[in-house]
Amino acid sequence: HRALSARKGIALLGFMGSGKSTLAGQLAVMGDLPYFETDAVLEQEFSMSIKEYFQKFGEESFRREESRVLKKMSGREMILSPGGGIVLKEENRNFLKNYFFCVYLKVSPETVLQRLSGTKNLRPLLQDKMNLTDITEMMERRSAFYEETADYILEGDGKSISECLTELQSVL
Ligand code: S3P
């Protein structure tokens, strides 16, 4: 097992709509730890929403900025909730493995579709893909990356937030 001492943070990984932010926020409150979202940092820095950023500068530029922000997140205790696409780059996966205990919050495409259908926070990458076929395909392209990076896989389907928290407490 990789030395836990070097890894001060806990990162919640998972697909858009998996519930990373909600769970990470609760974990932070419980552990009285600072909480960061790479998306929120970028929105603040650029004074625009992620959706606007994608429209203006495109995905490639977003991925560059996202990696830059991620690399500032180390060396202190924290809970981190990065965007769902953080695992696409190998350098990000390596960084996460080195500095964080990584939890993959795994949910089904059905859960994602259901959760995202009820939110106003439209994800740019899913704008024309709010259907099970497209979500399933995208998730399948990413799942190996999530699994490879994870220290622990938390099956989120059918579990309440407090059940997820209890389960996490027992492994952290
Ligand atoms: C993305 C996920 C989003 C956001 C951006 C791209 C992705 O974050 O970073 O829209 O590629 O999966 P959430 O996972 O919080 O939705």
| DSSP string for 68-134 | HHHTT--SS-EEEE--GGGGGSHHHHHHHHHHEEEEEEE--HHHHHHHHHT-S---GGGTT--SHHH
How is domain 4-163 classified at the architecture level of CATH? 3-Layer(aba) Sandwich (3.40)
pLDDT at 1 over 50: no
| Alpha carbon of 33 to ligand 1 centroid (Å) | 23
Average pLDDT, whole number, for the chain? 93
| Helix H or strand E segment including 161 | helix 161-171
Tens digit of each residue's pLDDT (9 = 90 or more) over 3-24 = 444 567 999 999 999 999 999 9
| Pocket mutation for ligand 1, best pick of 125, 128, 137 (most atoms within 8 Å of C-beta) | 125
Nearest atom within ligand 1 for CA of residue 121: 16
| Dist CA 101 CA 88 (whole Å) | 18
Report field, pTM of the whole predicted structure over 0.90: yes
| pLDDT score at 3 | 44
| pLDDT score at 58 | 97
ipTM greater than 0.95, yes or no?
yes
Which residue has its alpha carbon closest to ligand 1 atom 11? 85
**Annotated domain spans of the chain:** 4-163
